[in-house]
Amino acid sequence: MPTARPHTPTSRGARVDPQLRVSPYEMLKSAILSGELSAGQPLVETSLAEWCGVSRTPVREALRRLEQDGLVHHSQGGLVVRVRSPEEILDIYETRIVLEATAGRVAAERRTDHDVRLMRYVLEHGKEVPSTNVAGLVEANQQFHELIWRASRNESLIDLLERLNLHLGRYPETTLSAPGRWEEALREHADLLDAIEHRRSDDAYRVAHEHFVHARDIRLALFGEASFTEA
């Protein structure tokens, strides 16, 4: 954890025009996900309020929401940005694998023809994204999975998956950057779509489960490589 005294984000242009009315919650969440507020960094209300250009009350509420999101937590020294760890990756994926597999199964039971057309469109579009365009790969991948979430018609499930995405947002390394992963993911997406289209709910669960087990293993390897490089 950082040993320097608490500080606030210092990137140029970080302040947002008040007319845009970006809330302290959104400002702090963005700073955490981007790494501007680093893992283990103490969060001092007075300093954060000055940076956000607001009083301490909305900052206190923002920190409370961020704690509920799991992005910050209490330590002996007070509230800090949650530290990244391989154990957390395992915890996140242990939950995500089950939820994503469940979303696949329920989508197979509840999907509409329009859902299938949208999934197929995004899948075909993803095949055209160059492997060097990592941001494009991430966007195409996210769009495909969010369509499955929506096809499940299960708001509680969608809410939980969106919260997990916040946790994963603190790990900027994408599994799609691993050699051959995007091609493998496209094949798995195609198998998943086929199961959903033909309402084979058990197959949809199995394919989605295997898909995210593969993603977990790659993400752990990427985290290990990044930690080794930083050491």
Pick the last residue of a domain from 52, 81, 110: 81
Percent of the chain scored above 70 by pLDDT?
87
Rounded Cα distance, 49 and 55, in Å? 6
Query: Could you tell me if 43 and 107 lie in one domain?
Result: no
136 and 31 part of one domain? no
**What local confidence, expressed as pLDDT, does residue 155 receive?**
97
Can you tell me whether residue 141 is helix, strand or coil?
helix
**8-18: average pLDDT:** 44
Query: Could you give the CA distance from residue 125 to residue 118 in angstroms, rounded to a whole number?
Result: 11
Residue 202 is assigned to a structural domain of this protein:
yes
Using CA atoms, how far residue 99 sits from 77, 93, 145, in Å, is: 34, 9, 12
Same domain, 96 and 203: yes
> Do 155 and 177 share a structural domain?
yes
**Domain encompassing residue 201:** 86-230
Count of domains observed in the chain? 2
Tens digit of each residue's pLDDT (9 = 90 or more) over 43-94: 999 999 999 999 999 999 999 999 988 889 888 888 999 887 888 889 999 9
- DSSP 8-state symbol, 129: S
Do residue 93 and residue 70 come from a single domain? no
Check residues 205 and 34 and name the one with the higher pLDDT: 205
> Which CATH number goes with the domain that contains 52?
1.10.10.10
Q: Is 6 inside any structural domain?
A: no
Determine contact, residues 181/175, Cβ cutoff 8 Å. yes
* Biggest distance spanned by C-alpha atoms of the chain: 58
Beta bridge pairs of residue 80: 42, 73
Which phi-psi region, left, alpha or beta, contains residue 174 (left: φ > 0; alpha: ψ -120 to 50)?
beta
Residues 116 and 219 in one domain: yes
- How would residue 21 be classed by pLDDT, with cut points 50, 70 and 90? low
Same domain, 97 and 51: no
CATH of the domain at 97: 1.20.120.530
Beta bridge partners of 74: 79
Q: Is the pLDDT of residue 8 over 60?
A: no
- The answer to whether residue 2 is domain-embedded is no
Give the Å distances, CA to CA, from 97 to 15, 92, 127, 161, 170.
Answer: 37, 9, 24, 10, 18
Same domain, residue pair 157 and 93: yes
Q: Which helix (H) or strand (E) holds 183?
A: helix 181-197
pLDDT one-digit tens code per residue, 113-134: 999 999 999 999 999 999 889 9
Do 112 and 160 lie in a common domain? Answer: yes
- CA distances to 9, 58, 65, 76 from 15, rounded to whole Å, are 10, 16, 21, 30
DSSP 15-71: S--GGG---HHHHHHHHHHHTSS-TT-B--HHHHHHHHTS-HHHHHHHHHHHHHHTS
